[in-house]
Structure 1
């Protein structure tokens, strides 16, 4: 089975260039197309089988983090 790789680039306002950042580290089935900006992070709701979580990218540190949802979040 072929793995899908998600490329992430960051654009700095006032420039005309994009910077490659590390590959999206989560194996996912589907996710929200547009990330939501919250206090210096961009966040996506991720669906990986029965597991659901928020994938968060910190714009300052340029690192990813998995934020777990409450157990009853899918109800």
Structure 2
């Protein structure tokens, strides 16, 4: 893992796994890609969202999950 000083700003890559909307596929699917991006000097923000079988799944719930995650990211 690449260690950076807290004052150094890194380029950020936001990953959204997709997961086919199925609950058995989660954000861990992108862990190898995020690890590789970290090794290349990028910070990664691997976000999650609701999928089939979860409350309020679909356009509005999933959309709100993504927007909420991006809002937490401070650049």
TM > 0.5 fold call = no
Q: Which one has a larger percent strand, Structure 1 or Structure 2?
A: 1
**Larger relative contact order (C-alpha < 8 A, sep ≥ 6)?**
2
With normalisation by structure 2, the TM-score equals 0.26
Which one has the bigger helix percentage?
Answer: 2
